[in-house]
Amino acid sequence: MGLYSYFRVSKPAAEKVPAGDVDATYKHLRNSTFWGVTVAYSIFYVCRLAMSVVKKPLIDDGIFTAGELGIIGSAFLIVYAFGKFFNGIICDYCNIKRFMAAGLGISAVLNLLMGILGLVQPAVSLAGGVVLLVLFTVLWGANGWAQSMGAPPGVISLSRWFSLKQRGTYYSIFSATPYLGKTVSFIMIGFIVSWLGWQYGFILASLAGFAGFVVILSFVKDTPESQGLPSIQEVTGDKLSKTDKMPIKELQKYVFKNPGIWVIALSSAFVYITQYAISDWGILYLEEGKGFSDIQAPQIISFSEAFGIAGTLLAGWISDRLFKGGRIIPVILSGILCLVALSLFLFTGGSYLMNIVYVSLFSLAIGIVFCIVAGLMALDIVPRKATGTALGIVGIFSYIAAGIQSIVSGFLIQGGSKGGSYDFTATALFWVGACLLSFLLPVLAWKRMQKKVIE
């Protein structure tokens, strides 16, 4: 069996589920698939955040500078951006179970190799620091491609298994999984790193990745039809639209021609600059900019990620129920809260508790902005069968921006460090500016974005 045949979308099963068993079977397999991709996607984040936790030990041990870590981080994010774009388009045609499992399995292997490389690092360093930098950059960049195989099948599973009326609620739950993964990463990996050393942070992440690989193979199903069930429209009673009857290739062309998706992509880019700035550099900022210990700093950031879960979960309910499907008012309110909380975190001192409050409010608000701008707005204006393509366009903008953030922030931090002390002023202004643009752009352009290209 070739790669094309292995990864292509499943064919309808020859044996059909008896009519009397359709509802029960459909609900069971839908729930199994949803929670399978949700748990697995949270583990994808464990396999991508080990680097964020180990930055200070790498700097303290003299292995890399902040600027070099920025290069390594940008390799991941830029490769991830292009992977998100191409894999989003490809995944519209793919078996989501096999595609997602392959990505997480490869990511787990790459994390394991990073950990092993760390254990033999003294021998590698003898050959020159550049060699180690190149190896870390290549491996972490490759991890970016593997990680880009996670979100597209997860989002596409919602289109294949859920009705339009349920999409907002379940998308917000799925979108909360990154925050769950981040929380687990910052607490568990932070503990392991402080106990055993930074190398074991990567090894722990790899073990989590292998567990997630098993979860996908055990619980996720590709399509209802592949399980002998009727299509999603037949099961849920959704009416077939004009776009449901069009070829995927034509719908993908429509997405590219829709100006709204490009506004969303640009807005999402600024969301990701803001979000990844705190995920990538928040621990270092708390340690070097505010004087917290290497135990306290990860704890503060982990609390913030827990509130990010709440924000993302609230986004769908607030938008769908409280504002009757409206996207703009929740974006404005959450955007302002995000900007204020981030400014307090960056430009005031504060105790351990107050910094938890600042970053928690920031994550609560950015979770709402992220879910609505980078997710629901995009899904609102594209056909169901081309959601992977929309996700790819938004993704390439988002993660290229996050990669640029990694480089710019790294060198701004390095440039502001003198005599062992750090000046984060320029970096903080960069992050706050991105936060402001993240919610202004979609608010100003939303009415024009809603104009349909295909009626």
Domain enclosing residue 405, as ranges: 26-226+246-449
Is the model's pTM score more than 0.75? no
For 59-88, write each residue's pLDDT tens digit. Answer: 877 788 877 887 888 888 788 878 888 888
- The share of the chain scoring above pLDDT 90, in percent, equals 18
Mean pLDDT over 130-150 rounds to 90
Q: What pLDDT digit, counting tens, does each position of 292-327 carry?
A: 887 788 788 877 766 777 777 777 677 767 776 667
Predicted confidence (pLDDT) per residue in 318-374, tens digit: 776 777 666 778 888 888 999 999 999 999 888 888 998 999 899 889 888 888 877
Residue at 37 is within a domain: yes
Is a pLDDT exceeding 90 seen at residue 179?
no
In a domain, 237, yes or no: no
Domain membership of residue 231 (yes or no) is no
For residue 367, give the nearest of 346, 341, 400 by alpha carbon.
341
- CATH number for the domain spanning 262: value is 1.20.1250.20
Task: Place 290 in a pLDDT band, splitting at 50, 70 and 90.
Answer: confident
> Is residue 18 domain-resident?
no
Which residues 6+ apart lie within 8 Å of 208 measured at CB? 43, 46, 47, 108, 184
Give me the residue label for tokens 């409050």. 357
Q: Classify residue 239 as exposed, middle or buried by CB count within 10 Å of its CB (0-12, 13-18, 19+).
A: exposed
> Counting every residue, how long is the chain?
455
pLDDT band at 377 (very low <50, low <70, confident <90, very high): confident
**Residues linked to residue 421 through DSSP beta bridges, in sequence order:** 418
Tell whether 109 is covered by a domain: yes
* pLDDT of res. 35: 92
235 in a structural domain: no
Is residue 4 assigned to a domain? Answer: no
Confidence of residue 455 (pLDDT cuts 50, 70, 90): very low
Q: Residue 12 domain-assigned?
A: no
Domain count for the chain, please give it. 1
